[in-house]
Amino acid sequence: MVQQHYVGRRAQYFEQIQMESVTILFAGEAPYKSADEQYKFTPNRNFYYLTGIDAPKLIFMGIKTDSKIEEYIFIERENPQLARWIGATVTAEEVTQKSGIQTTYYLDEFTSVLSRVFDRRKFKICYLDLERQQWGGSESVALVFAQQLQKQYPAVKIENAWEMIAKLRMVKSDAEIDEIRKAISVTKQGIEVMVRALLPGKTENEIEAYFDFTLKQAGVSDFAFPTICATGKNATILHYNKNNDQLGREDLILFDLGAQVNYYNADISRTFPVNGKFTKRQQMIYEIVLSAMKAVEQATKPGVTLQALNDVAIEVLANGCLNIGLIDNIEQIHDYYIHSIGHHLGLDTHDVALQHVPLEAGMVITNEPGLYIEEEGIGIRIEDDLLVTANGCENLSKDIIKTVTDIEAFFKK
């Protein structure tokens, strides 16, 4: 995306916050894996959303007064020797070109600039991204910094910027939607290559490798999440990740996967018969899930909540399972449908979202009903990515094979 997108996003953010305040966001850095090996770096998504920069360790500082907005980026100093080992650090010119932020400092100047801001200008509010997934989880750079700031400047009030940035991120721009379309297109290619490789006796990770290869061949460097490639009873485990079992001739195989393009994600699920032909029972269950999916897609529009869409899915799934005798009453559907209908999608696969906020045009959500019948070794999930429009929704992944007729015809090719 071009510089203007990030400039515009920051302008929207600054409109939401109080006067005489400071915002500090951290890019983060890759944690150590073992010895001198680090995990692959991926930027803090809120930092990236407002700056477009994906280099580690950087810090964004934004100052809002009643007269102007000031924006700074703190970068690493050049280190020619280290650059020969791991590559050059991002330059001031690159920062400005990408983000539109004109003023840069070095990271070793951060505390002195910070002191000047809080000592001389007497700001009383500091916004930080204080997202935390769970009690006792690892502390982010921002959470650690919040403790240090309170110790140094106890009169400064710390506010959480997460909710305001999340509100912006929930509604996607045309440029963001284009990136998601690209990720879905590559994911479609990968799924079709995997299906062509399906044969009884192969292993799940062997099939998964076809998806990996397709993405790399397309220039995609990362996945939306670790690929789920689950055959038979394994498909009844929602987040199955071993991917090392053998494909049985009468098995179904469930794929839950996605490409990531410029940090924007696809999230697609499909379930196929390994031998190319559904059994009568498999097709019966599959059609129930597909009916729920169609009903949710038809119900998706501005003003509806994800909870309401989940209720639509439950009604269709429960009635279908009652009709085939799988359950005796509607409440028993929760024995076989054990998650919700979907989530927001964007820079994160489970993208940031404010709870119970109704859908708006420009939001992207997943539609992923499923039934998981462990005693029969049948796990079926079908998932599409939906763009909410002014009057309904657009199925961004509608071209990925899904109906029983299309699936069996694809195998015959």
- What's the pTM? 0.96
**CA geometry: angle at 179 spanning 41 and 194, to 5°?**
80
Q: Are residues 121 and 158 in the same domain?
A: yes
Tens digits of residue pLDDT in 264-316: 999 999 999 999 999 999 999 999 999 999 999 999 999 999 999 999 999 99
Tens digits of residue pLDDT in 206-260: 999 999 999 999 999 899 999 999 999 999 999 999 999 999 999 999 999 999 9
SS3 153: coil
pLDDT at 225: 97
Q: Are residues 30 and 64 in the same domain?
A: yes
Q: CA-CA distance, 51 to 99, in Å (whole number)?
A: 5
Chain CA centroid to CA 191, Å: 19
Q: Are residues 143 and 180 in the same domain?
A: no
Q: Are residues 151 and 51 in the same domain?
A: yes
Q: CA-CA distance, 410 to 413, in Å (whole number)?
A: 5
Q: Are residues 189 and 266 in the same domain?
A: yes
Provide the pairing of β-strand 370-373 with 378-381. antiparallel
* Contacts within 8 Å (CB) and 24+ apart, 52-56: 52/1, 52/3, 52/5, 52/6, 52/98, 52/99, 53/27, 53/90, 53/95, 53/98, 53/99, 54/27, 54/263, 55/27, 55/89, 55/90, 56/27, 56/28, 56/29, 56/30
Q: 110: burial class by Cβ within 10 Å (0-12, 13-18, 19+)?
A: middle
Among 157, 165, 196, 118, smallest CA distance to 347 is for 165
Domain boundary among 169, 197, 227: 169
**How many residues would you count in the chain?**
413
SS3 71: strand
Domain boundary among 169, 203, 218: 169
Contact 241, 225 (CB under 8 A): no
Contact 75, 106 (CB under 8 A): yes
Residue 306 CB partners (closer than 8 Å, separation 6+):
340, 341, 342, 343, 359, 365
Number of domain units in the chain: 2
Q: What is the CATH number of the domain that holds 402?
A: 3.90.230.10
* Helix (H) and strand (E) counts in the chain: 12, 19
pLDDT at 67: 85
Comparing 11-15, 114-118, 349-353, 369-373, the range with the smallest average pLDDT is: 114-118
Q: CA-CA distance, 302 to 359, in Å (whole number)?
A: 5
Q: CA-CA distance, 206 to 198, in Å (whole number)?
A: 9
Name the one residue in this structure whose structure tokens are 């305040």: 21
Confidence class of residue 83 from pLDDT cuts 50, 70 and 90?
confident
Domain boundary among 130, 150, 169: 169
Longest CA–CA separation in the chain, Å: 76
Q: Are residues 292 and 403 in the same domain?
A: yes
Tokens of 87: 């590559």
346 is in which domain, residue-wise? 171-412
Q: Are residues 187 and 146 in the same domain?
A: no
Q: Are residues 30 and 77 in the same domain?
A: yes
How far from 180 is each of 43, 170, 395, CA to CA, in Å?
A: 18, 14, 12
DSSP state of 232: G
Q: Are residues 376 and 271 in the same domain?
A: yes
Q: Are residues 146 and 192 in the same domain?
A: no
Q: What is the mean pLDDT of the chain?
A: 95
Name the one residue in this structure whose structure tokens are 């929704």: 393
